[in-house]
Amino acid sequence: MSARDRYEMVIGLEVHCELKTASKIFCSCPTAFGAEPNTQCCPVCTGMPGALPVLNRQAVAYAVKAGLATNCRIASHSRQDRKNYFYPDLPKGYQISQLDQPLCENGFLEIETEAGSKRIGITRIHIEEDAGKLVHIEGQGTLVDCNRCGVPLIEIVSEPDLRSAEEAKAYLRKLRAVLLYTGVSDCRMNEGSMRCDVNLSVRRRGVETLGTRTEMKNLNSFKAISRAIQYEARRQIELIEEGKRVVQETRRWDENKDATYAMRSKENAQDYRYFPEPDIPPLELSEEYLERLRAEQPELAEAKRARYQADWDLPVYDTEMITSQKALAGFFEEVVALGAAPKQAANWIMGEV
């Protein structure tokens, strides 16, 4: 048995997803991608003294819908907290987030891999604001673009239930499909509206104790996530086999070198000096409000596939292809409603159309 086979990975994912609101989470600045740098900011999202935030109602609704679609319990009472850290792209010197009273908790997604189905737990989904963006110009320096400051985010934190790059990809694909179906985000990884942090450790098979984990930040493609997981697991195993110690730290994936490198020691909650956000009152959601959002939830791809198979006797392959996009599934259902035979309509849509 090789050294790699003697170990198993333990992986948890933190997915940051920008919500598809027209304005930012605490001000009325637009959120459109690709605008000229520093043209979509105001005193609120750049943290000028005396500027007060107001919570975006639509951002809360989208976050609740994401929680419902991932089988989470929605809190009737939650609050915002200040997370203090000092990066050049965070002009306020803190981020408004949620610590111990998140909006959504205790959810799950079912994934399918070659090994079969598996339930992946979701610890929490909380709302927060995005930071700005650093633009590095080789030989000249680094510029700061504050347009992204204050764009509404949800952070979806999984349980450490994943054991391979394949499972991680299956989970992310399922999560992305769910978020697209609910309409809460465009999930465009190439534009940074869906990004993933990977927490990974290794341990000998049969051992229950968790190993020392590292975190790889801001991965924005399935390919990069898979390669980073495989590299980092190999790096940690080699360290352990050589009698060395894995250090808890934050690492960056270098696409060109196909390797991770250390950025900084891993922070813990106390390093951020969280405290309740004094300018935003706690968020109270009534049962009537939650029932209305439940009623607005669309039929998700998994339910559509089951219905197509049960009602129209469509093969599994056909249902997976047709439900891969919400718009495609809607088009298919309209064609069938107009009188087309379901299997014939599926053939045309998967082929010529």
Chain segment 99-149, per-residue pLDDT in tens: 999 999 999 999 999 889 999 999 999 999 999 999 999 899 999 999 999
Q: Judging by beta carbons within 10 Å of its beta carbon (0-12, 13-18, 19+), is residue 27 exposed, middle or buried?
A: buried
Per-residue model confidence (pLDDT) at position 261: 85
Per-residue model confidence (pLDDT) at position 308: 96
Q: What is the pLDDT of residues 170-197, one digit of tens each?
A: 999 999 999 999 999 999 999 999 999 9
Question: Comparing C-alpha atoms, which of 161, 14, 176, 31 is closest to residue 97?
Answer: 14
| Distance from C-alpha of 54 to C-alpha of 279, rounded to nearest angstrom | 8
Specify which residues 197 forms β-bridges with: 14
Average pLDDT of the residues of the chain: 93
Please, which pLDDT band fits residue 202 given cuts at 50, 70 and 90? very high
Q: What is the pLDDT of residues 39-91, one digit of tens each?
A: 999 999 999 999 999 999 999 999 999 999 999 999 999 999 999 988 889 99
Angle at which helices 165-182 and 222-241 pack, to 10 degrees? 150
Pairing of strands 214-219, 249-254: parallel
pTM: 0.92
pLDDT at residue 271 tops 90: no
Residue 32: CB atoms within 10 Å: 10
pLDDT at residue 267 tops 70: no
pLDDT at residue 315 tops 70: yes
Per-residue model confidence (pLDDT) at position 352: 84
Per-residue model confidence (pLDDT) at position 60: 98
**Which of 31-40, 147-156, 216-225, 289-298 comes out lowest in average pLDDT?**
216-225
User: Residues with Cβ < 8 Å from 72, sequence gap 6 or more?
Assistant: 104, 105, 106, 107, 122, 124, 125
| Distance from C-alpha of 323 to C-alpha of 342, rounded to nearest angstrom | 14
| Distance from C-alpha of 197 to C-alpha of 267, rounded to nearest angstrom | 14
pLDDT at residue 266 tops 80: no
Buried-exposed string 302-335: b where 16+ CB fall within 10 A, e elsewhere = bebbeebeeeeebeeebbebbbeebeebeebbeb
Q: What Rg value do the Cα atoms of the chain yield, rounded?
A: 22
Per-residue model confidence (pLDDT) at position 269: 64
CB 322 within 8 A of CB 346: yes
Question: Comparing C-alpha atoms, which of 274, 248, 347, 297 is closest to residue 128?
Answer: 274
pLDDT at residue 300 tops 90: yes
Buried-exposed string 78-106: b where 16+ CB fall within 10 A, e elsewhere = bbbbbbeeeeebbbbebbbbbbebbbbbe
User: Residues with Cβ < 8 Å from 110, sequence gap 6 or more?
Assistant: 117, 118, 119, 120, 174, 302
Please, which pLDDT band fits residue 1 given cuts at 50, 70 and 90? low
Section 321-342 average pLDDT: 94
Percent of the chain with pLDDT over 90: 85
Coil, helix or strand for 69? helix
Please, which pLDDT band fits residue 22 given cuts at 50, 70 and 90? very high
| Distance from C-alpha of 83 to C-alpha of 96, rounded to nearest angstrom | 6
